[in-house]
Amino acid sequence: MQIEIADGTPCVQGVPVGAIVHACHEKTLDAGLAALAMPGLDRRTLEPVLTYCAELRCEADQATCPGCKRRTEAEGIATLDDFIARHEEIVVGDGSVRLKGTGVGRLTTPALAALEKTWSGENYWFWARRVLRKLRHGIRRAHIRGNAIAPPGTTPSVILIEPQLPDNIGMVARACANFGLDDLRLVDPRDGWPNEKARIAASGANYVIDDAAAYDTFDAALGDLNWVCATTARQRDLRKPVLTPEQAVAEMRRRIGEGQRCGVIFGRERNGLETHEVARADAVVMIPVNSRFASLNLAQAVLILGYEWMRSSGQATLGRVTTFEQPLSSGLYLNDQAPATREELFAFFEHLERELEAQGFFSSPDKRPSVVNNLRTMFVRAEPTGQEVKTLRGIVATLVRPKGQGRK
């Protein structure tokens, strides 16, 4: 594809290169190409466009793309204040907050937090490198599929209300996979669905991402559920049961055992759930936290509920289990070794005490019995294995051997 410079912007058929990179990075490659719908732009012709951006060839052309961090730097915008000043007005959310500048143009942003994160522009060249790698080698971890550990409806649904960041959705999916929560539901995700950023952040929990469903409304996401609880860090003036995660999980297990379907609702990253949304739930779940800092990251909240669910299932393992790693139980890990036998221990005691006697350690005969008892008690309490006892005897033998002589 021919790249042309128009008004200082590298373009393909009038579309900035940065916009092409953004579309293919935000979605899957094929979905991005379909959304662009540019004649002649396909996987084969996309590669030189990505290479142009990835290798920063725009520098030689003295060109930049709108929304790219290189343009922000070229225009001398060093702070958020500078960015606001370059516009006539920035409208936040529903328009109740408006930021006035001295420049030209009107910009809208869903939230101040989003503006703070994006004002400096994106590293399009870095995105281009990632998309280029997918184009050439396929999606990383795409071979990891995984499987739900339980039939549909037998685990609680995890419902995210208007999640703002795809990265958070991906981390929630990973938490779900960690603890066997297979049904992820999204209500009006801000950046659309499906989303490639969420897949990347899921770090292998692809089956949760692939099976996640997006709903337009809150009611639609809850439609087939019999009982739902809402997580919140703020007290609400609602006459509802207030449960800890452990109590909520116990209630859901009871109901699921009766054939009901249950779900847990999690609010927006910025301000959680609205009171009218909590009012639609059957119960409120509040996680024990430091009262002076009660807000949890979205994935952390899901992780805590998921941990309680898995802990009560009887199916949890300590760490992973593979072909070479067997399930573990808590306590002293001995692998295939057994604690030393009494015969091995007694032989070690005799060896140690004999050498200590020879070296004059027992200087007071009347205290010898109590010192021997202390030594034996110490080593018995350590519960050494047979191999460890052999090592200890080797140490004793080495310490008493005259320097420069072989062992007799």
Please tell me the predicted confidence (pLDDT) of residue 115.
87
Please tell me the predicted confidence (pLDDT) of residue 147.
63
Question: Token pair of 44, please?
Answer: 């084969």
Instruction: Report, as an integer, the average pLDDT of 21-44.
Output: 89
Please tell me the predicted confidence (pLDDT) of residue 247.
96
More confident residue, 232 or 137: 232
Give pLDDT tens digits for 253-306. 999 999 999 999 999 998 899 999 999 999 999 999 998 888 899 999 999 999
Q: Which of 19-28, 43-52, 251-260, 332-341 has the lowest mean pLDDT?
A: 332-341
- Tell me the pTM: 0.58
Q: Which of 57-66, 129-138, 161-170 has the lowest mean pLDDT?
A: 129-138
Angle between helices 245-257 and 298-311 (to 10 degrees): 60
CA dihedral of residues 335, 341, 344, 346 (deg, nearest 10): 140
Please tell me the predicted confidence (pLDDT) of residue 116.
86
Q: How confident is the model at residue 326 (pLDDT cuts 50, 70, 90)?
A: low
Please tell me the predicted confidence (pLDDT) of residue 245.
96
Look over the chain and give the mean of its residue pLDDT values, rounded to a whole number.
88
Please tell me the predicted confidence (pLDDT) of residue 146.
62
Please tell me the predicted confidence (pLDDT) of residue 55.
94
More confident residue, 53 or 336: 53
Q: How confident is the model at residue 381 (pLDDT cuts 50, 70, 90)?
A: very high
Q: How confident is the model at residue 144 (pLDDT cuts 50, 70, 90)?
A: low
**Which one, of 164, 168, 10, 8, lies nearest residue 74 by Cα?**
8
Give pLDDT tens digits for 72-126. 999 999 999 999 999 999 999 888 899 999 998 899 988 888 888 889 999 999 9
Please list the residues that pair with 339 across neighbouring strands: 385
Residue 320 has pLDDT above 50, yes or no: yes
Give pLDDT tens digits for 181-216. 989 999 999 988 888 888 888 888 888 998 899 999
Q: How confident is the model at residue 363 (pLDDT cuts 50, 70, 90)?
A: confident
Please tell me the predicted confidence (pLDDT) of residue 30.
86
Please tell me the predicted confidence (pLDDT) of residue 408.
46
Please tell me the predicted confidence (pLDDT) of residue 327.
62
Residue 405 has pLDDT above 60, yes or no: no
Q: Which of 254-268, 330-344, 370-384 has the lowest mean pLDDT?
A: 330-344
Instruction: Report CA-CA distances (Å) from 370 to 65, 347, 364.
Output: 83, 19, 11
Percentage with pLDDT > 70 across the chain = 90
Percentage with pLDDT > 90 across the chain = 63
Residue 219 has pLDDT above 60, yes or no: yes
